[in-house]
Amino acid sequence: MSSAKMQNSLHLILAAAAAALIAIPPSPSAADTRNLPPVDFQEPDQPGKPIPGEEQLARSLRRTVVFFRSTYPKGTVFIVTQDKYLYLYLGDNRAYRYGIAVGREGFQWTADLSVTKKVQWPSWRPPKEMIAREAQKGHNLPEVMEGGPENPLGARALYLGYTEYRIHGTNQPKSIGHAASSGCIRMLNEHVIDLYDRVPVGTRVIVS
């Protein structure tokens, strides 16, 4: 090979090497990494804009985004009765966390169910066992109470499977954070409206 051809080949090789170097993005330096903002899953999704009505609850019971590791699909609802929290999984190890009221002693349960129905301002039909139990205490419950602000089921209800259990609002916000119900999961009315708007029929609900 002539010296001219060798020089041309060398130029081509050098040009290709330079192009390859340009195409490779530089790795971040330690200084660049230090300047990245910290990841904090305790921040609400809208800082400074709490849900109206949340001031009725302790800060730990208000809706917030938290770290939540799960292999379940995005949109799954988890209810942890011992901790009195409901989690709506958002994916990427994050979830909305809401404070709830759960069943008092003797009325707690676990299950893997799904949302079968959603109702706005639901009417309430107390189970016969509850009517009889309350009658022994001198409380006469109606067979049906139409929906409204005085209704114990509150503003929204999500029915779980084909059971008598529901996730619903409450006209007793001070019960949130306590074991206070006859088995249903209570939420602040403003919280259950927020959940209702995010959760479709068919959503999986895991109660533990």
For the chain, what is the HEC assignment? CCHHHHHHHHHHHHHHHHHHHHHCCCCCCHHHHHCCCCCCCCCCCCCCCCCCCHHHCCHHHCCEEEECCCCCCCCCEEEECCCCEEEEEEECCEEEEEECEEECCCCCCCEEEEEEEEEECCCECCCHHHHHHHHCCCCCCCCCECCCCCCCCCCEEEEECCCCCEEECCCCHHHCCCEEECCCEECCHHHHHHHHHHCCCCCEEEEC
Give the model confidence (pLDDT) of 5-15 as tens digits. 445 554 544 44
Q: How far apart are CA 64 and CA 79, in angstroms?
A: 15
Position with higher pLDDT, 22 vs 95: 95
Query: Which range, of 132-146, 159-173, 184-198, averages the lowest pLDDT?
Result: 132-146
Q: How far apart are CA 208 and CA 75, in angstroms?
A: 17
Position with higher pLDDT, 205 vs 27: 205
What pLDDT score does 115 carry? Answer: 98
Q: How far apart are CA 190 and CA 163, in angstroms?
A: 24
Burial tier of 4 (Cβ tally within 10 Å: 0-12, 13-18, 19+): exposed
- Annotated active-site residue 178? The verdict is no
> For the chain, which domains are there?
54-207 (2.40.440.10)
Catalytic residue from among 11, 139, 178, 184: 184
- Predicted confidence (pLDDT) at residue 203 exceeds the cutoff of 80: yes
Position with higher pLDDT, 87 vs 51: 87
What pLDDT score does 8 carry? Answer: 52
Q: How far apart are CA 154 and CA 148, in angstroms?
A: 7
Token pair 């904090």 is found at: 40
What pLDDT score does 132 carry? Answer: 76
Pair 160, 125: CB distance under 8 Å: no
- Annotated active-site residue 168? The verdict is yes
Average pLDDT, the chain: 79
Distances (CA, A) of 19 to 9, 22, 24, 26, 178: 16, 5, 9, 14, 65
Sign of CA dihedral 104, 168, 93, 29: negative
Catalytic residue from among 11, 139, 168, 178: 168
- Predicted confidence (pLDDT) at residue 23 exceeds the cutoff of 90: no
Taking residues 77-96, what's their average pLDDT? 96
